[in-house]
Amino acid sequence: MKKVILFLSIFSPIVAFAQVERTYEYERLRIGVEAGIEFLDGTINKPAAVRENHSYYYDSYYAKDYYYGGYIDDYQTITRYYFGVKPEYSLNHRFTIASGVRFMYNHNNLISDREYFLWKVEETALTTNYARVKNVEQNNLYFGVPVEMKFFMSKKDLRVRPYVKAGASFNFLLSSSTTPYFVNGRMEQKYASDILNQLEKVDFLSTSIFASLGLKIGRMNHPFGTIEFQLPLLLFGQNTPSSFVKSSTVNEGVALQISFYLPVGEQKLSYKYKSRR
């Protein structure tokens, strides 16, 4: 009897932890929907016909004798929102590629830090006419094509799985509408077109290149989601993304993106793993 007890006490834990080999498989293809927000840095693209003003931004520096010009903060942030559909395909357990379509929107508002701009709308040899302009609003809508590649740090499809991603987005301007608002409403009919003609046109193509760090949440053989932080976001184009904000050739920005994926298709990837019985 003692020998039986001794045998069980030695081998029972080993039996309890004995593992079996299993196969995990998931679809190579999945349909994704994405939504994101981008914050882009730029400097104000000052319309040449706007008179400089004694800006609040300079009061504290030059309070005594020197009133430097300015009517708005030089540094501007543009916020762009987008959503889209993006199929993703797993090349292997670590690499995926994705492309799709997205619609991107941004709203810009050129607004003085005083009550209004004095905007030169007419000029002859002996006369000059300014209009008081409260602000100018611009709405831009883009059709975009993102191209992305992901690299998962672990081969195993963990429930929470980090990844890095590199990609580009080619955004084509679908529509751009700009509306000036005047202090005196009667000036609108007379001078709105003059102001619109003075503004620089928005680039037709706005290209961005980015790298990002993200987390996949959920198993890939079920619907799952991702959340990622894009930095840097490099933006190319002189008059992108607005008539009012001048971006440098390479414009740094940051972005946040969330996606939701639904596995589809017949092709599957699989790997074996060991599991407790």
Partner 1 sequence: MTKKYIFPVLTLIILFSSCDSDPQMDRTIFIPDETEPELPAYTEWGYNSFGAIYDNRSYFVVSSVIAPCKILYKEGHLHFSLNGIMKGSYLVESEKITLDFIFPSEKIEQYNDLLMLNDKQINLTSTDCVVKIIRNENERTLNVIDGILHFKRAQHLYIDDRSNRVILSGIFALRFLEYEFPTIISGGRFDVGINNNVFYAY
Q: Shortest approach of partner 1 to residue 74 CB, angstroms? A: 14
User: Could you give the CA distance from residue 274 to residue 36 in angstroms, rounded to a whole number?
Assistant: 38
Structure tokens at 88: 């993703």
Which 175-234 residues touch partner 1, going by CB under 8 A?
182-184, 186-187, 190
134 is a site residue for partner 1 (CB under 8 A): no
User: Could you give the CA distance from residue 144 to residue 159 in angstroms, rounded to a whole number?
Assistant: 31
On whether the CB atoms of residues 254 and 231 are closer than 8 A, the answer is yes
Structure tokens at 235: 């933006």
46 is a site residue for partner 1 (CB under 8 A): no
Binding part of the chain for partner 1, among 129-137, 143-151, 195-203, 228-236 by CB under 8 A, reads 129-137
For residue 162, whether the previous peptide bond is cis, meaning omega lies within 30 degrees of 0, is no
Binding part of the chain for partner 1, among 80-88, 116-124, 166-174, 267-275 by CB under 8 A, reads 116-124
Report residue 234: phi and psi, to 5°: -100, 130
Binding part of the chain for partner 1, among 30-38, 52-60, 95-103, 163-171 by CB under 8 A, reads 52-60
Which one of 114, 155, 201, 268 is in contact with partner 1 (CB under 8 A)? Answer: 114
In terms of Cα–Cα distance, which of 68, 44, 5 is closest to 200? 44
> Which residue's CB is nearer to partner 1, number 120 or number 216?
120
Which one of 43, 45, 99, 129 is in contact with partner 1 (CB under 8 A)? Answer: 129
User: Could you give the CA distance from residue 88 to residue 32 in angstroms, rounded to a whole number?
Assistant: 7
User: Could you give the CA distance from residue 125 to residue 110 in angstroms, rounded to a whole number?
Assistant: 29
Q: Are strands 95-99 and 160-182 parallel, antiparallel or unpaired?
A: unpaired
> Which residue's CB is nearer to partner 1, number 182 or number 224?
182
Which one of 78, 104, 131, 245 is in contact with partner 1 (CB under 8 A)? Answer: 131
Which one of 24, 39, 67, 143 is in contact with partner 1 (CB under 8 A)? Answer: 67
Angle among Cα 244, 245, 246 to the nearest 5 degrees reads: 120
User: Could you give the CA distance from residue 8 to residue 127 in angstroms, rounded to a whole number?
Assistant: 107
Which one of 38, 53, 152, 202 is in contact with partner 1 (CB under 8 A)? Answer: 53
Q: Shortest approach of partner 1 to residue 113 CB, angstroms? A: 12
Q: Shortest approach of partner 1 to residue 46 CB, angstroms? A: 12
Residue corresponding to tokens 């379509």: 101
On whether the CB atoms of residues 195 and 133 are closer than 8 A, the answer is yes
> Which residue's CB is nearer to partner 1, number 20 or number 63?
63
Q: How many residues bind partner 1 (CB under 8 A)?
A: 29
110 is a site residue for partner 1 (CB under 8 A): no
Give the residues lining the site for partner 1 (CB under 8 A): 51-54, 62, 64-69, 114, 116, 118, 123, 125-132, 182-184, 186-187, 190
